[in-house]
A = this chain, B = another copy of it.
Amino acid sequence: MKCKLCKKEARINLRSYNLKLCNACFIEFFKKRVRETTEKFKMCSLKDVICLAASGGKDSFALWDVLHKLGYETSGLFIDLGIDGYSRLCREKVVAFSQKTNLPLKIVDIKDELGYSIREVARRANKVPCSICGMVKRYIMNRETGAFDCLATGHTLDDEASVALGNILQWQTGYLERQYPVLQENQSLKKKIKPFTFTFEKEIKLYAQIAEIEYVKEKCPFSANATSLLYKKAFDILEERMPHIKLSFYKKLVKKRFFIPEEEVKLRPCRRCGYLTVDEVCNFCKLKEKLSSSSGSR
């Protein structure tokens, strides 16, 4: 098959666009999509300094790589959750990427923050690791973004479309706002940008391969039963037979802003740390309190 753009031999067939490309043209296509997304949604300018949430996986590395190549100033943030061998592996890859590209990196260790690994924190708080992890990461990322213009995360089209699907199936339509490509600054909560919201995961994987990015292929051991993966699987079955449905669903969600507001929630600063929260004290400070009172127990 031939590359649609340069007519050389094509090795890549993007079914969702019915587009065949050679490797070099694919890289340009990929970068162009990201640049157009950041521009269209006024995510960031070349004067900004972007805090990049790096996990060690393909999505955040590819994002870091492409934003850097597009000329944006970036600085990585890695949160070490202390998950057995998995977090160590992720940390090594993130450090290696930062050294190879000569891009700055900050590491926050959850053991320094809370005294325990996320597994132990969850056990002591009597919660599921994933729900605690999400809250803790959001808190730390937001705090660490203080000195930057925005926080960039590697959320993909597959992520956003499947989370939106889940929220619609449960009619938690107020949550759909969060699937927008950019979440504006709101008092102490920093602007969050998702430049990959129109990019398929399989394209990111291709990009990472061609750009020779080394990333952690294992999934987080806690994610095996995540319902988010189930929504992705259901969506993939549809996409397989109807290429483009994921993208057109998400595009229309964004374009028409089908965000049905639920009751508006008033946020106020946490009495302890100033983080915006619905209660007097935020969940992170409540967790710290719970952990310190439980520190004597086994």
Contacts and interface: CB of A to CB of B under 8 A. Distances in A.
A248 B234 CA distance: 18
B234 A230 contact: no
Given A168-B168, A258-B171, A241 B249 contact: no
Contacts of A170: 245, 248-249
A252 interface: yes
A245 B260 CA distance: 20
A227 to B, nearest CB: 7
A237 B235 CA distance: 10
Q: How many copies does the complex hold?
A: 2
Chain A interface size, under 10 / 10 to 19 / 20 to 34 / 35 or more? 20 to 34
Interface string A37-80: 00000000000000000000000000000000000000000000
Q: Which of A169, A170, A241 has the most CB of B within 10 A?
A: A169
Nearest to A231: B238
A29 B242 CA distance: 39
A233 interface: yes
A16 to B, nearest CB: 14
Interface string A161-185: 0000100111101000000000000
A238 B245 CA distance: 18
Contacts of A230: 237-238, 241-242
A245 B158 CA distance: 21
A257 to B, nearest CB: 11
A132 interface: no
Contacts of A168: 168
A253 interface: yes
Nearest to A230: B241
Interface of A: 165, 168-171, 173, 227, 230-231, 233-235, 237-238, 241-242, 245, 248-249, 252-253, 256, 258, 260
